[in-house]
Structure 1
Amino acid sequence: MTGMIVTARHGRPNVDRSVKITAREYGFWWANYDKTGLAPGQTPPDGLVNIASEAEVVLCSTLPRAIETADRVTNGARIVPRDALFVEAPLPPPPFFPDFIKLTPTTWGVISRAFWFVGYAPEGCESHRRARRRVKKVVERLTSEVDKVDGDVLLCAHGYLNWMVHRVLIKRGWKLVDHQGGNDYWSHRAYRRQTPPAAASGRSTEATMAAE
């Protein structure tokens, strides 16, 4: 039997989600979020640390919150390859909202994801369609890594991206065998292949979760 694919969400970033901001300001907030590392004083769950210690391969996205998560779960004991393929699906500020409407970043995130999900993507922003194509490449990369090492592969990435990966993995014959922490920070999902690779190749899916 091949090893597991494990996707983990990063730890809690060092940002303030309690502020009230406009839709336009949300664009700047999200840009800053992508530059921010983890809030201090966090300890990764023991279960995730154990998975990282036993994994043949640990990967992460190029965003600071994912890089620092990978470093913490491995106790800095290994060099973790970083790849922009694994970055979070974008959240462009939603259109058509006047500046007198101020909401928390979390609320704007839900609204933005809904707009993005139905096709809204301003110039320079990855669309939902392109993100779905990228997720297929993520799954192909993770599957290839598992097949090469015949051991577990851990990806330290992001909540929505991991959800999209989940749907594709299930469609391609992988079974969810462990799920800890819901979709919260430091959560993880583990999968084992149930159908032979040749029978499952080439299938695709789309995400239905519309929150950050």
Structure 2
Amino acid sequence: MNHSPTQPGREDPDSRAVMAPPAPGAITLARHGRPDADRTVRINAKGYGEWWANYDRVGLREDSKPPRDLIEAVKKADILLASTLPRAIATAHAVAEPERIETLPIFVEAPLPPPPLPGLFLKPPTWGVLSRIAWWLGYSGGTESRREAEVRAESAADHLVQTAASGAEVLLFAHGWFNRMLRPALKRRGYDCVVDGGDSYWSYRRYEPVQSRVDGADPGR
């Protein structure tokens, strides 16, 4: 049986090249701007618990403005995500149109329950250090434990990686400590930090998939 040649203008199905899947996109983790909270007061453990609860309700200080490099990073992003806490949402709104931002509770900050240390009157930053150490060592005070937060960080990393899987550039507005917890989770999923902006307010870190860089693709597109 003779096979007729492919007609002009029609593609031979057997000659179609298999298209490779797109390289995963980069993931950027940004910390929020400076919250509108008084850090100079001296308070006891109970007072710090109340201070932290209020910290989770406030937005940003009026004089806290986004740096140019974060604004440029947002322009490159295809998908913007944020924690549901007001300081993260206010940060996102300072650099992007609200309709571009999806908020998810999985990205909220890990809790800071103050350890029961009666008689101590300290400033909030000092209480923050003591509380984080105590929480890391196992004290949760009825809040989310370190182990529970680690499980949440793994799920959050899965969400970020799945969102970036189609090649989209993803940027998350979240929190200092929870972003820190996401670092090893992203590394285990094949992402390396290529831009390290530190841990200050408005800072960010950019992560790119290792395999994409090895293959010569441009994750930043």
What TM bracket, shorter-length normalisation? 0.7 to 0.9
Residues 1:172 and 2:172 aligned together:
no
Q: Based on CA coordinates, which of the two structures has the bigger radius of gyration?
A: 2
The answer for the alignment partner of 1:152 in structure 2 is 169
| Residue aligning to 1:29 | 51
| Residue-by-residue CA offset, 1:68-93 (whole Å, 9 max, x unaligned) | 1011121x364311111000000011
2:202 corresponds to which residue?
186
2:80 to 47, 53, 58: 58
State the AA in 2 paired with 1:16: D
Moved more, 156-165 or 1-10: 1-10
Q: 2:159 aligns with which of 116, 136, 141?
A: 141
Question: 2:108 matched to 1:87?
Answer: yes
| In 1: Cα distance, 2:141 partner to 2:146 partner | 11
Residues of 2 paired with 1:61 and 1:98: CA distance? 33
* Alignment partner of 1:161 is 2:198: no
Deviation at 1:94, TM superposition (A): 1.0
Give the Cα separation in 2 of the matches to 1:43 and 1:113: 27
Partner of 2:17: none
Q: Give the distance between the partners of 1:135 and 1:98, measured in 2 at CA.
A: 32
Question: How many equivalent pairs are there?
Answer: 190
Residues 122-172 of structure 1 show CA distances to partners (whole Å, capped at 9, x for unaligned) of 22x100000000000110000011013x12100000000000101211233
Structure 2 letter corresponding to 1:133 = V
Cα distance in 1 between the residues matched to 2:157 and 2:184: 10
Q: Counterpart of 2:12?
A: none
Q: Distance in 2 between matches of 1:115 and 1:35?
A: 23
Counterpart secondary structure, 1:160: helix
Measure the CA separation in 1 of the matches of 2:101 and 2:193: 24
- Normalising by structure 1, we get a TM-score of 0.86
Residue ranges of structure 1 left out of the alignment (5+ in a row): 197-212
C-alpha distance in structure 2 between counterparts of 1:62 and 1:132, whole Å: 18
Contact conserved, 2:79 with 2:100, CA < 8 A, in 1?
no
Q: Distance in 2 between matches of 1:141 and 1:56?
A: 15
From the superposition, tell whether residues 131 and 42 of structure 1 become closer, same or farther in structure 2 (CA, over 3 Å): same
Distance 2:190 2:161 in 1: 11
Letter in 2 for 1:151: A
> 1:15–1:27: structure 2 CA closer, same or farther, 3 Å change rule?
same
How far the C-alpha of 1:3 sits from its partner, in A, is: 1.6
What is the CA distance between 1:60 and its match in structure 2? 0.2
Please name the residue that 1:209 is paired with: none
Moved more, 160-169 or 41-50: 41-50
Q: AA paired with 1:19?
A: V
Cα-Cα RMSD: 1.3
Q: What is the rounded CA distance, in whole Å, between the counterparts of 1:67 and 1:177 in structure 2?
A: 25
Distance 1:77 1:68 in 2: 10
Cα offsets for 1:177-196 (capped at 9, x unmatched): 1112x100000000001148
Give me the identity figure in percent.
44
